Structures are given as C-alpha cells and as structure tokens.
Structure 1
Amino acid sequence: MAERKTQIVVVGGGAGGLELVRRLGARYGRKRHDIILIDRNLTHIWKPLLHEVAAGSLDANLDEVGYGGHAARWGYRFFNGSLESIDREARTITMAPLVDAEGFEVIGRHSIRYDYLVVAVGGISNDFGVPGVREHALFLEQRSQADRFRQRLLSLCLRANHQHQTGNPDARVKIAIVGGGATGVELAAELYNAAKALRTYGLEVFDDTKLEVTLLEAGPRILPQLDAPLAETAKQQLTKLGVDVRDATQVTRIDAGLVHTADGATVEADLIVWAAGVKGADELATMSDLELNRLNQFIVRPTLQTTRDDRIYALGDCASCLLPGAERPVPPRAQSAHQMASLIFENLVRAQEGRPLKDFSYHDHGSLVSLSRFSTVGSLMGNLVGGRMFVEGTIARMVYLSLYRMHLIAIHGWVKGVALILIGHVNQIVRPRLKLH
C-alpha cells in the first residue's frame, strides 16, 4: 500500500503564495509530500506592476510567470480554479466548477484534501459602500483588469487624436483616480509617461497635454504611508506633470462618466479608477466558519495560524495579524506578504517535526513610490541605514527597481532569478516602450 503523503495546499498564487510553494517544493519535493497551489489564473504578475501594465509601459506577457511551468520546475502541483468552501472537520476544500471562456464546464465541483492549508487569496478594493463604484469604476486588482484599462485608454487616446486631426482642438482624455495611496499616485504618473510617448507610436497630435488626470484622496494628504515632506514632494511632482491633486476630497457617488464629491463638486471622466483601501473578498464571509474581521480578512494569531484551526494559515492582504503591543494590524503590503510567507514556511516545517512554532515579527523596511521615469520618493528603514533615511531621485529609483529583482529571486531562486534580471535589462533596450495591443 502506497504511503500517504503529507498534503499542503496553498490557495492563491500571489507574491506570498508563489514564494511559499517554491520553498516547500524545493525542500520536500514529491516523495513524501504533495504540495498543491490553487489559483483562478494561469499566470502570475507581481501586483505592484499592474499600474505599468494598465498604462502600457509594461508588457505583462514578458514578465508573467506561468504556474504550470513553475510547478514542474519546483516540484509542486498547480490546479487552476477557485476556492468555494472549507470543511475544517473533514480537512477538505471544495473547488468551484471550472468554466472556460465560452461558458462550458471543464471540471465540475470537486474536493481536495489537506493536512495543512494556507489561504493567500489577496484582497480586493474597498468601495466603502459608495454607490456606483462597482458599476462604473475600474479596478487594478489583477492583470485582466489592467489589460481592460489599457485597451480602453488606448481607444480614448485614438479618438482624441482623431478629433484633433478633424478640427476639434479641445478634445481631451479625462481620467479620475480615486485613492491617493501608492497605486493611485503611481498610476497617475505612469499615465503621463505613456502619453508623452504615444506621438512616437503613431498618434501624430496626441501627447501629455491632451491628458487630464484628477487624483482624489479622502484623507488630509496623499501617500499617508510616507512622511509629510515626502508626500508633499510627490504632490508637487504630480502637479508639475499636470495632475489635479485634490486632498481631503471624499467621493460620495459615482455615475457613468461622473464622480460626485462631498463638497458638492463633480469630476467628469472618460475612465474612473478606484484605488482606495483593501479588504478581503466578499465570498470569504460564507466560505467557512473561520473568524473574520469587519473587512472580511482572516484573523490570525502571531504564528499566522487562524484563530479556530491550527492547520489553517493565512497570509497577505486576506489576513489580519495584530501583533502583541501593536495598535494596528500588519499593513497589507508586498513586504508583509513576503515576510509572512517566510514564517509560514518555517512554521510548516516546525509543525511537521513537532517543534514549537515561531511568532511573526514584522520588519518595516520603508516605503518607496515610483513616479514613473520622472522621480521616485520614499524612506528606507532598518539596520542598513541606521534607522530611517529619506530618499528620492536616482537612488530611490535604484532601490525601487531592486524590490522587483528581489521578488524574482524569491519565486525563481538565485540562478534563474539573476538570469531573468539580466534578460530584463536586454528587453528594456530591444522591446518597444509601450504595449499598444
């Protein structure tokens, strides 16, 4: 009789989940373990890059990671599908039916057993109950949404270019971005970078002067994760580009092509992007009896185990981890997911060996915000700089780019990671600056 393998199931192939299955596969292989990754998509793209995909500055086809090939390389299995429910008593998860683009069922509803389960499904944008957001705004939570935004953006730019050529000098492309965090700020700057390049790619009379971007932030200032002087530097740079930055402006309703604010004003927009806040997906509330907070995030202990089941862990944007002595949970950031994946890997090893688990310790390495090729601002923290150091310009840009390189190494290992970094430098020279399809 074949030996029963220890089955570790990771749901969600984002930065944390993909790194975790690589490390598990590299350590255990398939002899006595069955490591399974489940994701509703077939490929992975690093979420902090989605604003570049949306603006056309990055070709996701060249930077995405195919889960199937990655699984073959690192000794785990990949299942394409969506998690529907968790049965803690039976230690099984139920997968929703897999349906193709034409609506035909490829694989019916089925169950997968687990010995250990890690939920790393990420989060979605928090609409805060504002009417019209889900109906009229676009989001940048996954690649398909970034692709949709880019296609609509290009169509609008082509239309404006044609209108200028046919006698309408006032034609503009108007974009409203709700949320002055990193995603909203980086997207605003990247749009101007793309607009400056469009004339080179066949739009003879279109450039950044034909673009009107309004950035709306409900809080007192944009980029609340940065110190006030850095946030002000970023605001000045955006304003210089042409962005209409409106602090302390709360959105109350969104209609088709129109954003309403609490002060009674309206903002006309051909495209509306919602980039304000993060919460867990709505379906998590009915998926199991695991404890959730008011934002639909799994509440986890310092070991990153869920409060009601020692065999179920959660990490990243779908997890809420309030560490002892902390006033707020660990922030939903890429560096948090990376650190959580590292601890869960170690705790899964310890759990199987009967050793005590370790508690999570979050290390804030700082925040960096890219304003495309125009500038980069942020702060670095830790022993490397002896506390906190404000950075901007070339140095900040170099550190910002290094974050993606570290991500490549985390999910591919040193050999292939370094090779992909070198290939990336070559691609910057040989491939077009914009993706126009």
Structure 2
Amino acid sequence: MANTLSKKIIIVGGGAGGLELAAKLGRRFGRETVFLIDKEHDHIWKPSLHEVAAGTLDIHREGLSYFMLARDCHFTFLPGEMLALDRDKREISLAPVVGPDHEEVFPARSVEYDYLVLCVGSQTNFFGTKGADEYAVALDSTAQAERFRLKLLNELISTHKRAQKGLDDDLCISIVGGGATGVELAAELLEASADLHFYGVNTPGHTQQRAVRITLMEGADRILSALPEKVSASAHALLVQRGVRVQTGVRVAEIGKHVIIDAEGKEYPSDLCVWAAGIKAPAFLCHVGLPVNRLNQLIVDAYLRTEDPNIWAIGDCAQAPWGDSGTYLPARAQVAHQQASYLYRRFSQELRGRPPQQHPFQFKDYGSLVSVGQSRGVGSLMGVLVGRSWFVKGVLARGMYMSLHLMHHMAVLGWVRTFTLALGRLLSKRAAPRVKLH
C-alpha cells in the first residue's frame, strides 16, 4: 500500500462520491495517505432518506459507521465539520466535536493536505419563501428525516387537539417539489399509512385509522420535469391512482403552521409540510476563497479542479461542465459515483509516480429511476449500446432502483460484504415491523 510520493489526500464529505473515493484509495494506498472528514459518524445513502422519513427504513439498521469503514477500507476517519480553508498553508480548520451533553470530544483542529477533495453535498434551498424555515421540514440528513417521522407519528396518535380546533380529522401532508425526492416520499408515505392500522394507530373514539391526505405540489407543468415526459406521466398516473393529490403549476409563496399559500393567494390545508423543491451547496463554501455560483457550488473545470490546482470538488457541491453542451452536470448520485471513479484513477497514477491522466471527465448518463412505492417504479434507461432510451416500469424498475443502492455498497464494501449485508437485512425485515413506530 505504500506510495512513492508520500502525499496526503484529504476528502471532506462522506456522501456517495466522497466515501467511494476514500474507500478505493484507502484500499490501495493506506490510512497514512487517505483521510476522510465528515461531521456525522454514520453514513447513509442519501436517496434512502425518504424511507427513513416515512418510517419504512430504520436508520439504526441501515447506517454504516465511518469508523468501521475506515478500519475495513484502510483510510483514516477524522470526525468534524470543516469551517475554513487556508490555501497558502494548505490546511483546513475543523470545528470542535461535542458529545450529547455538550462535552468536548475532539478539540478544534487544523489538518494539512497535499491534495484536497471537497464533496460536502447539498442542502435544501427554500428560495426565501416566507415561513419555510419555521414550518417546513427538509430531508437533508438522517436527523431531519427522523424529525419528520416522529412528527408524523405524533400527529397520528395525538388526542383530540385537532377536534378542539374545529378541524376535520384528516391528516394533511404537503410535499413541495415534484422532483425525485418529492415523488418518492409521497409514494413511501402511502405505503406507510396503509399499514398503520395494523399497529393500532387510531384516533381516540374512532374505529378506523386516521385518514392521511397527501398533496404533491410542483411549480412546473409536470412532476419529474427533468426526466422524459413518459416517465413523468407514468409516475403521475401511479400517484393519482393510489390516492395522492398532484398539483402542478403551483408556486408556493408562503408556508404557515397549518396552511400553504400559493402565488395567487389560494390556500391549501397542511399539518405537515416537507420541502423538496430545490438544493444549494453549504454556505461556508462562499468563504473559502474559491469561485462559487449563486447556489454556493464550487466552480470546477472539465477535470473537476477548482482554480487552485491542489483542490478538486465533486458531487452536488460542484458546478461541473457537461461536456461541450454549455450546461452543467445534474445533482445525481450516478454523477458523484462516476466522478469518484475518475479521481481515483487520476490520484492512483500520481501516487504511483506516473503522469496523471490528461483526458477530461466525461459523464455517461445511464438514465434515471424513481421509486413509486416498495413494489413499483418508473424510469428511463439510456441505451448506450443501441443509441436509444428504454422505458421501464413496475417491479422491474423497482428492482433496478434497489440495485443502485447495492452498487454503491459494492463500491465501498466489495461484493462479498455487500451480499452478506443484503442477505442479513432481507432476513431481519421478515422479523421487523413494516413501519417503525418507536
């Protein structure tokens, strides 16, 4: 595992791209060369957060410990949140890590680097919408997903507080944003609410479970507007068929405690609101001295490099050119996956004392898949061999969607560990409740 140049690679952010890069480099060059920094202690595949929010996935079973991954993949994990960057000294500053009782576990530190890769992901963009910070829930992290799940559970098992307010007994859930996250959350909530009555979650004095009404609100003229129209239409039909109220062409202007108001002044009842209408990179990137765009994303060239030749950025926090099209790469997991593989090859060459690869990063779009419940999905697969796209739906699309998660685990853990992990989770699900109610 030794390398000839004794360089130190610091990777900030343990999401899909950052963790895959750290695992691949760590297995080849060792923990004295490869360092991963993240403010969380556990990794979860971000596209799974809508399942955590609905209670159909238990984060305590799904999460992977960074410390365990560092041991198995031979990189060094440094817990902490990046605060600042000193390009002259080639070092980054980390905030202190505190425990549950606010005791200091790790002090504030500075970490030197030879090469720095920033892959700190993205967070929800409220676009300055009035009341969104206070009344809408985002799904950027496991903590936020768990927060929504507990709020949902509390609403379902609450006493007569709604009746005392003179409101009907239906629970109105609003999802602002008809992209993949919004669509998948709506479908997952349907799955969860259909099973709740098996666990005795009923409103006091009623023999039936409390009705759940889900409204998906999208500002464009169709949901999944970034995907082909056939995918959008199929997802729309599936959601409506299963009871979701889909509202397109609705631009949200204000969010209140129990209401959403659109730009035309129309009001929509809402007990719980999830915001899934846009993303931006973390704000601290605006203060590291590197060029960013209006979404706080670091501007990188075709080689994924910032204006500093020793700093790269990948994933949602980077604005990377999409070939010669004049557009930029979308914020998707497969982009981060391919970028991690590209940088792995680039650093491998240099750490072995060879000239690094000279060709720019080229993204291959293999299509998009969207989960519309536990047994259904829709998607468009790009026929890279035959030059056309294939539309898939139903159980086949759902199975392919699930395989994306397994591919991520394989990149990090290898196929043997991934197989045993998948088998163990399959068996444990047969003994676990369908919806987590604790």
TM-score (norm 1): 0.93
Structure 2: gaps of 5 or more residues: none
Give 2:263's aligned residue.
Answer: 262
Give the superposition deviation at 1:105.
2.8
Give the superposition deviation at 1:229.
2.4
Give 1:67's aligned residue.
Answer: 66
Matching residue's letter, 2:309: D
Number of residue pairs aligned between Structure 1 and Structure 2: 429
Within-5 A mapping of 1:28-427: 28-30=29-31, 33-159=32-158, 170-204=168-202, 210-286=211-287, 288-306=288-306, 308-352=307-351, 353-357=353-357, 358-373=359-374, 375-383=376-384, 387-427=388-428
Bigger drift between 131-140 and 335-344 goes to: 131-140
Bigger drift between 172-181 and 322-331 goes to: 322-331
Give the superposition deviation at 1:323.
3.3
Any idea what SS the aligned residue of 2:370 has? strand
CA-to-partner distance for each residue in 1:376-420, whole Å, 9 max, x for gaps?
111111336652100101111111111111111011112211211
Residues 1:241 and 1:164: Cα distance change in structure 2 (over 3 Å): farther
Give the superposition deviation at 1:4.
8.9
CA-to-partner distance for each residue in 1:10-67, whole Å, 9 max, x for gaps?
111111111111101111124xx42111111100010000000000001111111000
Residues 1:164 and 1:297: Cα distance change in structure 2 (over 3 Å): closer
Contact 2:156 2:210 in 1 (8 A): no
Any idea what SS the aligned residue of 1:111 has? strand
Give the superposition deviation at 1:6.
2.1
Give the superposition deviation at 1:436.
1.0
Contact 1:364 1:382 in 2 (8 A): no
Give the superposition deviation at 1:163.
7.9
Residues 1:206 and 1:283: Cα distance change in structure 2 (over 3 Å): farther
Any idea what SS the aligned residue of 2:139 has? coil
Residues 1:87 and 1:206: Cα distance change in structure 2 (over 3 Å): farther
CA-to-partner distance for each residue in 1:252-297, whole Å, 9 max, x for gaps?
12222221101211122111111011211112111x1111111100
Matching residue's letter, 1:59: D
Contact 1:198 1:207 in 2 (8 A): no
Residues 1:144 and 1:164: Cα distance change in structure 2 (over 3 Å): closer
Question: 1:164, 1:87 → 2: CA distance?
Answer: 54
Residues 1:209 and 1:237: Cα distance change in structure 2 (over 3 Å): farther
Question: 2:145, 2:254 → 1: CA distance?
Answer: 23
TM-score (norm 2): 0.93
Any idea what SS the aligned residue of 2:302 has? coil
Question: 1:208, 1:376 → 2: CA distance?
Answer: 27
Question: 2:218, 2:260 → 1: CA distance?
Answer: 13
Give the superposition deviation at 1:226.
2.1
Matching residue's letter, 2:52: V
Contact 1:197 1:207 in 2 (8 A): no
Within-5 A mapping of 1:6-25: 6-25=7-26
Give the superposition deviation at 1:207.
7.0
Any idea what SS the aligned residue of 2:309 has? strand
Matching residue's letter, 2:83: E
Question: 1:276, 1:347 → 2: CA distance?
Answer: 35
Residues 1:208 and 1:267: Cα distance change in structure 2 (over 3 Å): farther
CA-to-partner distance for each residue in 1:204-260, whole Å, 9 max, x for gaps?
568787001111111111001222122122112211222111101001122222211
Residues 1:206 and 1:181: Cα distance change in structure 2 (over 3 Å): farther
Report the RMSD for the aligned CA atoms in angstroms: 2.2
Question: 1:206, 1:189 → 2: CA distance?
Answer: 25
CA-to-partner distance for each residue in 1:150-200, whole Å, 9 max, x for gaps?
00000111127x78999x994111111110000001101111110110111
Any idea what SS the aligned residue of 1:147 has? helix
Residues 1:263 and 1:303: Cα distance change in structure 2 (over 3 Å): same
Contact 1:163 1:169 in 2 (8 A): no
Give the superposition deviation at 1:77.
1.0
Residues 1:80 and 1:324: Cα distance change in structure 2 (over 3 Å): same
Contact 2:177 2:216 in 1 (8 A): yes
Any idea what SS the aligned residue of 1:121 has? coil
Contact 1:297 1:319 in 2 (8 A): yes
Matching residue's letter, 2:415: W
Any idea what SS the aligned residue of 2:33 has? strand
Bigger drift between 85-94 and 379-388 goes to: 379-388
Matching residue's letter, 1:361: Q
Percent identity of paired positions between Structure 1 and Structure 2: 42
Question: 1:241, 1:323 → 2: CA distance?
Answer: 37
Contact 2:9 2:114 in 1 (8 A): yes
Residues 1:207 and 1:349: Cα distance change in structure 2 (over 3 Å): farther
Question: 1:228, 1:321 → 2: CA distance?
Answer: 26
Contact 1:225 1:367 in 2 (8 A): no
Bigger drift between 357-366 and 382-391 goes to: 382-391
Structure 1: gaps of 5 or more residues: none
Contact 2:171 2:210 in 1 (8 A): no
Any idea what SS the aligned residue of 1:212 has? strand
Matching residue's letter, 1:387: R
Any idea what SS the aligned residue of 2:347 has? helix
Any idea what SS the aligned residue of 1:355 has? coil
